Amino acid sequence: MQNLNAVEKIFERAGAEGRASLTEPEVYEVMSLAGLEAPKYLLFPAAGLEPAAAAAAAVSRLGGDKAVLKLVSSKTLHKTESGGVKVVEKTAEALEEALKALRAKFPDAEAFMAVEFLPHSAFALGEELLLGARADEAFGPVITLGPGGTNAEALTKSLRPGTSPSVIPVDLAFNSGVWDKFLSGCWIWAYVSGSVRGGRRLVQDGEMFKWLEGFSLLMKHFRDGGHSDWAIEEFEVNPLAASKGRLTALDGVLRFRKARKASPRVKPSKKGVGGLLHTASAAVVGVSEKKMNMARIILNNILKAGFPREHTYIIKEGAAEIDGVKCFASPAGLPEKVDMYVVAVPSPEVPRVLAEAGESGKVNGVVLISGGMGEKAGSEGMAGSVVEAIARAREKNPDFALSGGNSMGIVLNDAKLNTFFIPEYKLEHPIGVNPYNAKTAFVSQSGAFVISTISKMPWLKPAYSVTVGNQQDVTVPDYVERLADEDDLKVILVYMEGFKPGDGLALARVIDKARSKGKQVVLYKAGRTAVGQKAVMGHTASIAGDYLVTRLIMEGAGALVAETFDDFNDLAALACSFANFEIRHGNTFLMSNAGFEAAGMADGVAGRFTAEMKSPDLYAAMTRTLKEFRLDSIVDAKNPLDITPMAPDAAIGGVIKAALASDEFSGAVVSMVPLTAAMNTLPKGGAWPDDLEKSFLKDAAKAARAAGKPLIFCVACGTLYEPYCAYAQKLGLPVFRSADRAVKIYAKYLEYLLS
């Protein structure tokens, strides 16, 4: 604590001078107080500098054959780029000449430093690291570890996926085991620890733990809502050099500001959120007697979904009933407390409606459909009145919770409740159960994202479809936390736009909780452009911008993060189809009736999840099938298998069943170009002899379910074959229209499951 008080005084001194950053010597002082290694250095104030005397002092007091001369300026944080760093021979003549040159180049400099030169290679991976930390509103302080040096940003951008810098919120780093896991997942640390082929260990893990713990201690103490009047905005060491078995900072940047008071979000109660997910009674506000307005569409969708009419109510003054549903002048007159109070009124009426709901004590959960509550410029006052209404309602009923505003509604399959405001003729009712899919929840900030996805994938029947809107009370993490406790739920699909303060960390924690209970979480995070990144914060923010931080933290917590909308849909299809299966290994059987697809599939997985057949019994079984259909003279049993366009459905089905019955393969990807006359690929009844009921698909899907193994089907042809795709989907098979995409997405899914 004494050392932290000393750090506090450094911030106070710099703040009194109107500075928002520390000089390099001050950064080194902070490091030393935190028990971290800084190089030996001499400081020479620019005023009255005598280059000859300074050079002589450096020669006598610094070790080694070289020295580093540096500019000291609170206005120039990254000195190398501006020419403020010179490495020279450690002789009086060379040092004096270099100091004179620096003084001439930077006449307004505050001081200059002569720093001990530590021998290391700037070009050998692992010898220069970047260790950074920054304040993040969504996650709290986060630490980044990646390759360092002057080319750190360019190098990071050139890396292939999977070799990004490693990121961790300090609030999740609570023991040495966490740091162990962090380093084991950091690709650059493999070079430092000598884990790569031909490598040698540069420093011990304990040396890095010291730095991580030191950064963590400082960031936890100097943060918004912490124990200090000051908060560290960004703290970066680049490079952190591995030299002589030690890690030493060769440069340091620290930006700070006055700490802000913490105002933690008041979370809704679990009971309040639970009522919105397990609704037994519902009321709708805003229903028109004369026209099919938004609220009346919602009312009709509720009734058509099969929700009990006797527990459905309308809040409307001056009417007895509408569409057979009783009306009440105010919520105070309701015969029971309602779990879901759907509000679809013009935005100016919202504060009054919410105030009445809260005052009545008859409302637990509100689904606020109305928009214009803070998401539109000039509506901030309206948003404030909603927040006030929520606070007042909770004084009377602590379980009061509000979902929205700007929500599309909620669909609950078990409760037979549909509060989407989309007419039935525009979207098939999302009520129903797909017997071939794992039980799924879909939680999205965007309602349009949910209905767009369900429209494209009508087989998707989530048990819960929750659109959260602008999260004025209940947030996405609140819902995911509650759903993580649902024992029979296997898949959670999440679309996220923005986080409330601290909610990024909250979502990471609940995803970790869900994964620990065997659930699969597929996440798409919007808002990933450079505009949304804190680019003013130097290298650390540029290398680990907001989206990258989110992706890395969510992946570390256990989410399967999709990079595109198409990826999200395809990964969701795999998760929903296969979450009930236990996939023990990734070896996958690949088959096509076209050579280009067989080759493309092999290229797509690049050997990660394919293997040559080694089982004599499997080889014999496949060969018997090929021989039975006279295909053995043109093709051998192997993986991948090009079974040729001459193969009929029975031959294809026989090979698939043999592959799925073998322990050698954990699943199969089968792609058929459907134009061949040998296969049934068009529906019965047309001007052709085909009959989909005679295709290999029904028996193959049955065999896959019996084996508990994934079977993925691809149809790489035009719209004539949409019925073929739809038939496969009705049998519970994920369908792709490109074989190489299928294997790439499946490989990503397998990596997620097996990592």
Separation between Cα atoms, residue 280 and residue 416, nearest integer Å: 10
- Name the token pair of 88: 């020279």
Q: Do β-strands 401-404 and 365-368 pair in parallel, antiparallel, or remain unpaired?
A: parallel
Tokens of 486: 């649902």
* Lowest mean pLDDT segment, chosen from 98-112, 142-156, 529-543, 574-588: 529-543
What CATH superfamily classification does 270-578 receive? Succinyl-CoA synthetase domains (3.40.50.261)
Position 671 pLDDT exceeds 90? yes
Asked whether the beta carbons of 489 and 463 are under 8 A apart, the reply is: yes
pLDDT digits (tens, 9 = 90+) for 690-710: 999 999 999 999 999 999 999
Are both 270-578 and 588-754 of the same fold? yes
Put residue 122 in one of left, alpha, beta given phi > 0 → left and psi -120 to 50 → alpha. Answer: alpha
Q: What residues form DSSP beta bridges with 145?
A: 131, 166
- pLDDT category at 534 given cuts 50, 70, 90 is very low
Residue 216: the pLDDT is 95
How far apart CA 464 and CA 439 sit, in angstroms, is 9
Evaluated on CA atoms 307, 311, 316, 321, the torsion sign reads positive
User: DSSP string covering 115-179, please?
Assistant: EEPPP--SSSTTSEEEEEEE--TTTSSEEEEEE-STTHHHHHHHSPTT-SPEEEEGGG--SHHHH
Question: What is the DSSP secondary structure assignment for residue 261, as one 8-state letter?
Answer: P
CA distance 421 to 428: 12
Average pLDDT over residues 98-117: 92
Q: What pLDDT is stored for residue 527 in this prediction?
A: 78
Given this model, what pLDDT does residue 197 score?
85
**Closest Cα to residue 578, out of 477, 697, 666?**
666
556: CB partners within 8 A, 6+ apart: 167, 168, 185, 508
**Cβ proximity of 486 and 413 under 8 Å:** no
> Beta-carbon neighbour count of residue 455 at 10 Å?
14
**If pLDDT is split at 50, 70 and 90, which confidence band does 176 have?**
confident
pLDDT tens profile 37-53: 999 999 999 998 999 99
CA-nearest of 362, 419, 365 to 390 is 365
Is-contact 708 581, C-beta < 8 A?
yes
Q: What is the pLDDT of residue 174?
A: 74
Q: CA 550, 406, 526: angle at the middle one, nearest 5?
A: 20
- Mean per-residue pLDDT over the chain, rounded: 91
* Average confidence (pLDDT) over 347-353: 93
| DSSP state letter for 633 | T
Q: In what order do the strands lie in the sheet with 588-592?
A: 641-642, 588-592, 667-671, 711-714, 735-736
* Average pLDDT of the segment spanning 69-92: 85
Contacts of 497 (CB under 8 A, 6+ apart): 445, 446, 525, 526, 527
Question: Whole-model pTM?
Answer: 0.91
CATH number of 128-258: 3.30.470.20
CA pair distance 283, 316, nearest whole angstrom: 10
**Beta bridge partner(s), residue 234:** 134, 255
Q: Hey, what are 122's tokens?
A: 């700037």
Cis peptide bond prior to 226, omega within 30° of 0 = no
552, 166 in Cβ contact below 8 A?
Answer: yes
Identify the CA nearest to 672 among candidates 735, 579, 605, 726: 735
**Is 282 strand, coil or helix?**
strand
Could you tell me the pLDDT band of residue 81, with boundaries at 50, 70 and 90?
A: confident
Pairing of strands 440-444, 735-736: unpaired
Report domain extents, the chain. 2-116, 128-258, 270-578, 588-754
pLDDT at 372: 74
Residue 533, pLDDT > 60, answer no
Percent of the chain with pLDDT strictly greater than 70: 94
> What is the four-CA torsion angle of 99, 103, 104, 107, rounded to 10 degrees?
180
The answer on pLDDT for 539 being more than 50 is no
Query: What fold does the segment set 588-754 form as a domain?
Result: Rossmann fold (3.40.50)
Kindly state the DSSP code that residue 719 receives in the 8-state scheme. Answer: G
Lowest mean pLDDT among 63-72, 510-519, 623-632: 63-72
Which residues are within 8 A (CB) of 367 and not within 5 positions of it... i.e. 6 or more apart? 276, 340, 341, 342, 343, 403, 404, 407, 409, 410, 419
Q: How far apart are alpha carbons 390 and 663 in whole angstroms? A: 57
Indicate the Cα dihedral angle 335, 340, 345, 351, nearest 10°: 90
pLDDT at 538: 37
For residue 537, the model assigns a pLDDT of: 32
* Res 159 pLDDT > 90: no
